Amino acid sequence: MKKLIIVSWLALLFSVSIQAQTDTLKIKTSSVCENCKRTIENDLSFEKGVKAATLDLDSNLITVVYNPKKTTPEKIRQRISDIGYDADDVKRNPKAFNKLPDCCKSPDGHH
Amino acid sequence: MNFIYRMIGTMLLVLVVVSVRAQSGMIRGTVVTTAIDKNLRLGLPGAVVRLLPGDTAVLTDVGGNYSIPYIGTWPLQLVVSFVGYKTDTISVYSESVPDIQLVGSVELQEVSVTGKKEAVGYSRINPLNIERVGEKEILKAACCNLSEAFESSPTVNVAYTDAVTGAKEIRLLGLSGIYSQLLTEAIPNYRGIAGAYGLYFIPGPWMESIQVTKGTGSVQQGYEATTGQINVEFKKPNEESVPRFFLNLFGEQNGNMELNTHVKHEFNEHWSSILMAHGNYMNGNQDLQDDGFLDIPHAQQVNLYNRWHYNSGNRLESQFGWRYVYDLRKGGQFGVMNHSQGLYTTDVLNARAEAFGKLGIVFRDKPGKSIGNIAQATIHRLNARFGITTYNAQERTLLLQSLFENSFNNGQHHIKLGVNYRYDEWTELIDTIDQKTVESVPGAFVEYTYNHADDFSVVIGQRLDHHNTYGFIYTPRIHAKYNFSEEFILRASAGSSFRVPNIFADNLSMLASSRQIIVAPDILPERAWNFGFNATWHFMLNDKEGAINLDAYRSVFSSQLIVDRVTAYNEVLLYNLQGASYSNSGQVAVDYEVLDRLNVRLAYKRDDVKVAYNDSLQRKPLIPYDRSLLNLAYLTANEHWRFDYTIVREGRKRLLPTYVDPTFDSQATQSPVFITMNIQVTKVFRKFEAYVGSENLLNYYQEHPIVNADDPFGPSFDATNVWGPIDGRRIYAGIRYAIK
């Protein structure tokens, strides 16, 4: 009985959800440090239609996997701007930028 | 009060001396990184700091601090590099440089994504055997307070000490909580009369982490701590990871409700403060056993904590604050009065105020050198009533400590010197017996650490105290560590301890029975030795980290206050140990990330605790023979869901002799083996977290925790023969909301 409970619980954990059709998008941003990476990735993971978001700090590129039926590249860029970072040609929202942690506010994103 | 003034005087004097010593021609700062732990900016030791122009270069110390001599005009350039991190060049305009943050290079970032910090960590560096319970681990528990933070820890167990008032105690290495030391940020706390309910006074959401030291502790905190130290670190106002505002609401099906909140403010780069509040209200009537007694007492608690942090930016750091807790628990019989003496009820009221201050001076140019001063004062009131027996006590304590430490030869030798003073005064009124006790204990200690290369280190600690009643007390302690390799570490420790027992406060639950309490004359202080051995093996399997941890500890008493509840069913005999008393504890624990983000912990523990009761060596009652634990923790890839599952098998325990009730056939001498399960699911939303869970999912509870519950004023009533859960399944839900 105990074993059964454990096994069924594990099965529940690993049941793979069926993936919808997705597109991939690369967005140039203005991140500086690990803090920025965490903020952007975490925030985008909650954005409707976004399946995954990974930021590469070296190239400052965010790779976004999204469902085109639920969101658009414009909406994703707007969201990045809303949390205080540039997204391609969409400039960051200055109010949000001011609330970022100190290390994320270094000029041009570099020391 | 005099002491506080003297202490402040000393601090000021030290301050003046320090500022005169200021040097010129040195650039100082700290290299930090969040690549090790993404929630913490940790100092990065061993990083190379190079000055341009020229080629002067230095390495950062253990704390990531560096100081580098310069000649030239501003601005100068510093190049900071470390293997696995991106090299950074910065311009500096003054001698004090803001923290330089290094980020991991490309290869390392991948590691930092998959290799998260484990919730329970075994240190590779510290010679002491310390198990760290992180915030993640604390969140695994349903709620509430320190007594529930160890549910997935194999090392520390928490057990009810009676079935009426809800009093709980910590058990470490097979011995009761009075033999381990509870510290709040390295200050001994919740001793004496605060001990019986102390675990309830530390709310879960206040804690940042807990460190459990197994075996004899550091001499720095005094001569107590036979089996170990449990140190609680609270959330700090100067830490970026602590949100500016936090709110937690929590409710349980049994009627328990909680509210936790805190507000943090950073006034400027020097000053920050946090105010935390906790409220708890429990008013449910639950009686699974149908014995007329509440399973969980009605409770009300208000708990406040305010602390301030000051950092001068170069060498001075200070913290001070206060805490206040009011806690009322009403248990016992409820419902219709069915006998002439009325209902048997219990009331336990605790009210406590604490104030503390810390002042630290660091010498940036001398890594490892610092001065620390600590002061703490507490007032505690305990009013308890068990049926017709009353216990009223009041305690006042003052604790002062000054500590100087320094490192030589690049940290090869490290020395700590300290003096402390403890004043403890308590008055007790047990029914009509009045007594007042005063302890005044000045002491001094020295702790020397020798580090040989990366493989061997030893800590030798000695302290000498003078107790106003028992004279000089000498306490030697030693800890050693040997790294056979980066992965395989052996530790050994030995140390003595001393403790003045508090007959009633240490054993308050014995009042929840009709047993006659008989105290022998001339109770002596307790003395014990603890010997320990630990082996830790870190391994990589399938690119996943794991650790195997083996512990073997032995505590031996040469003098002990024996609480004998086994000789007669209707008496508690308290007398000095004559003969042997020991606890042997062995544990093996395996931690491993079996699949991506699925962490498993499997542990088995065996305790052999024996005491000479009236010259006959017997197993100590109500201590499990063995205990097994399995914990599974899973986090989804997007970190939006967390799952946690714990199953515990608790072995047989020897039971207390009780009056044989004719309604139950015969007297059981051993408790059955039983299993409990806890489960929790957390969903993370953009702005908040919600969680639901169950404790004791299988609804296992002890059928008759109270002997002769029908006649609580009769001669055979006993609510202390508790070996299992009393309150059955609990289902709860809560939310956490934070503004970063």
Structure-token pair, residue A64: 């976004």
Q: Cβ contact (<8 Å) for A43 and B34?
A: no
- Element housing B724 (H / E): none
Burial call B351-370: b when 16+ CB within 10 Å, e when fewer: bbebebbbbbbbbbbebbbb
Are B112 and B38 a contacting pair, CB within 8 Å?
yes
According to DSSP, the β-strands at B228-234 and B180-184 are: parallel
The string of pLDDT tens digits covering residues B197-214 is 999 999 999 999 999 999
Q: Is residue A73 classed exposed, middle or buried when 0-12, 13-18 and 19+ CB atoms within 10 A define those classes?
A: middle
Going by C-alpha positions, the residue among B335, B450, B323 that lies closest to residue B377 is B323
Domains in chain A: boundaries? 19-109
Q: Which of residues 79-108 of A touch B (CB under 8 A)?
A: 101, 103
Going by C-alpha positions, the residue among B383, B330, B378, B324 that lies closest to residue B201 is B324
Q: Is residue B665 classed exposed, middle or buried when 0-12, 13-18 and 19+ CB atoms within 10 A define those classes?
A: exposed
The string of pLDDT tens digits covering residues B399-445 is 999 999 999 888 889 999 999 999 999 999 988 889 999 999 999 99
Mean pLDDT over each residue of chain B, to the nearest integer: 87
For residue B222, what pLDDT band results from cuts at 50, 70 and 90?
very high
Averaged pLDDT, A89-109:
79
Please give the Cα distance from B623 to B606 (Å, whole number). 10
Structure-token pair, residue B605: 């523990």
Structure-token pair, residue B731: 């289902």
Domains in chain B, ordered, with CATH?
Answer: 2-114 (2.60.40.1120), 233-739 (2.40.170.20)
Which residues from chain B sit within 8 angstroms of residue A34, using beta carbons? 34-35, 38, 103-104, 112
pTM value is 0.81
Q: How far is A88 from chain B (nearest CA, A)?
A: 22
Q: How far is A61 from chain B (nearest CA, A)?
A: 13
Please give the Cα distance from B405 to B213 (Å, whole number). 21
Query: Is the model's pLDDT at B93 over the cut of 90?
Result: no
Query: Is the model's pLDDT at B683 over the cut of 60?
Result: yes
Q: Cβ contact (<8 Å) for A43 and B686?
A: yes
Cβ neighbour number for residue B480 with a 10 Å cutoff: 16
Q: How far is A35 from chain B (nearest CA, A)?
A: 8
Q: Does A7 touch chain B (CB under 8 A)?
A: no
Give the sheet arrangement for strand B516-519, strand by strand.
B516-519, B571-576, B561-564
Transcribe B383-413 into DSSP letters: EEEETTEEEEEEEEEEEEEEEEEEEETTTTE
* DSSP 3-state of B373: strand
According to DSSP, the β-strands at B516-519 and B571-576 are: parallel
Q: Is residue B274 classed exposed, middle or buried when 0-12, 13-18 and 19+ CB atoms within 10 A define those classes?
A: buried
Averaged pLDDT, B656-675:
78
Going by C-alpha positions, the residue among B65, B70, B73 that lies closest to residue B93 is B73
Residues in chain B: 740
* Cβ contacts from A onto B, under 8 A: 42
Please give the Cα distance from B551 to B564 (Å, whole number). 29
A19-109 CATH choice from 3.30.70.100, 2.40.50.180, 3.40.50.12780, 3.40.50.300:
3.30.70.100
Going by C-alpha positions, the residue among B29, B91, B235, B266 that lies closest to residue A102 is B266
- Torsion angles phi and psi, residue A99, rounded to 5: -90, -5
Q: Cβ contact (<8 Å) for A2 and B640?
A: no
User: What is the ipTM for the molecules in this complex?
Assistant: 0.72
Q: Cβ contact (<8 Å) for B104 and A34?
A: yes
Are B190 and B148 a contacting pair, CB within 8 Å?
no
Q: How far is B686 from chain A (nearest CA, A)?
A: 6
Please give the Cα distance from B618 to B582 (Å, whole number). 11
Q: Which of residues 13-42 of A touch B (CB under 8 A)?
A: 13-14, 33-35, 38, 42
Q: How far is A46 from chain B (nearest CA, A)?
A: 6
- Please give the residue of chain A at the shortest CA–CA distance from B35: A34
Please give the Cα distance from B104 to B86 (Å, whole number). 6
Percentage with pLDDT > 70 across chain B = 88
Q: Of B88, B677, B686, which is closest to A111 when you measure between CB atoms?
A: B88
